[in-house]
Amino acid sequence: MDILTKIISDKYKEVDLKKSLISTKRLEASDLYFRKTFSLASALCNSHTGIIAEHKRRSPSKGTINQNTNVSQVAKGYQKAGVCGMSVLTDIKYFGGSLEDLQLARASVDMPLLRKEFIIDEYQILEAKAYGADVILLIAAVLSREEIKTFSELAKSIGLDVLLEVHNEEELQKSIMPSLDMLGVNNRNLKTFEVSLETSKALSKLIPNDFVKVSESGISSIQAIQDLKQYDYQGFLIGENFMKTDNPGKSASDFIQKLK
């Protein structure tokens, strides 16, 4: 069993348990559920840098990245650096994140927050809104076209942006639909964990211009972003590059200053 299959198997169990503990009515009654959201797609369209910075403590491919972070301080540092938005890992078992991380980040900043999660149930979309997210991630590799349609339409109906992640042409072709805001190309093969920016370059011409193009994973240099901009990418999700330093906010700030 590859790691992605294992994560999804565990995620179904986790979501079933959560549904038995907290009802959807309770999620929909939370204070944050009623707040006006920030659009990440708009922020990327109006930015010269397009940086989406991530909060990630560990990953299955890299192991521990940074266990000593304070998510509130990281969020404030990223906002001060001038990022377009922040991605917050909420998976506990494999990435060391939590919904509380998302909630703390929301209390600390007023920029778009992406809930980075393996979404396999509508419940998680309501959960994202209730804990302060502005954007959800849908991963084409683990969802059918019908699920992508149902989940993205639900997200849009409650004011959330949708970032759809693909890894190859087959996933892209099954996923293109009007209820998406951004199409993200993950340069990391989720089964082998190998990374290549050529994935983003190859798929760029197949993504309609109606969508904001986002490149994810393996972006660690100014040169990489300058190259990808030639392929019409407007968003660049960077996680480990900032998080592996003692001060992710300062690291992001230095990077953005060089990029400008």
Name the residues annotated as catalytic.
54, 56, 116, 165, 186, 216-217
Q: Which residue has the tokens 């959807």?
A: 24
Tokens of 237: 């999700």
- Cα 110 → chain centroid: 17
Cα distance between residue 211 and residue 83, in whole Å: 20
Specify whether the CB–CB gap between 116 and 88 falls below 8 A: yes
CB atoms within 10 A of CB 175: 20
DSSP string, 5-74: HHHHHHHHHHHHHHHHHS-HHHHHTSGGGGSPPPPHHHHHHT-SS-EEEEE-SEETTTEES-SS--HHHH
Cα distance between residue 72 and residue 31, in whole Å: 19
Find residue 238's DSSP bridge partners: 53
DSSP, collapsed to helix, strand or coil, labels residue 135 as strand
Close Cβ partners of 184 (under 8 Å, ≥ 6 residues apart) = 137, 163, 164, 165, 166, 213, 214, 215, 216, 235, 237
DSSP, collapsed to helix, strand or coil, labels residue 232 as coil
